[in-house]
Amino acid sequence: MAGTDHSAQTGFALARYGITGTLDVTFGTGGLVTTTLPVGSLWGEAVALQPDGKIIVAGYGGEGSTATFNYVLARYDSNGMLDTGFGSQGMVTTTIGTDDRCYAVAVQPDGKIVVGGSGQVVTEATPTAASTPLSHRRYLPVILK
């Protein structure tokens, strides 16, 4: 299960439950994991499992005071530890426009990670108007390892 931690600083939050519905204390700390950015906030929106048991969490993050958000992916080992071999210290950030929000993630059979969401783009013709189109990205597993 993945979502958002709304304690002191917003961040990704993960929990793993056993088959009886109790927290799996072998995962993270007491069954829970939280991840924050040094500056700004994270919102966890989707989770997917890779065939090797690693966990991909997708969402968005950035500095809320400027309303500039980017796609953010994080990968965790099966024990809940952030996989520092993934992207930069376990996280990948992708900028599409000025207000990019990732809401879905899937892992293809070949290991590529596909995410979907929205991105706000300001055009030259209408610099004060913005559109929010659907957006998707696919990440190659070689780049992310």
Q: How far apart are CA 22 and CA 20, in angstroms?
A: 6
- How many other CB atoms are found less than 10 A from the CB of residue 28? 19
pLDDT of residue 129: 45
Two tokens at 136?
Answer: 């998707």
pLDDT tens, 91-141? 988 887 778 888 899 999 888 898 888 877 665 555 454 555 555 555 555
- Measured between alpha carbons, how far is 25 from 40 in angstroms, rounded to an integer? 29
pTM reported for the whole predicted model: 0.78
Residue 61: both structure tokens together: 């993050």
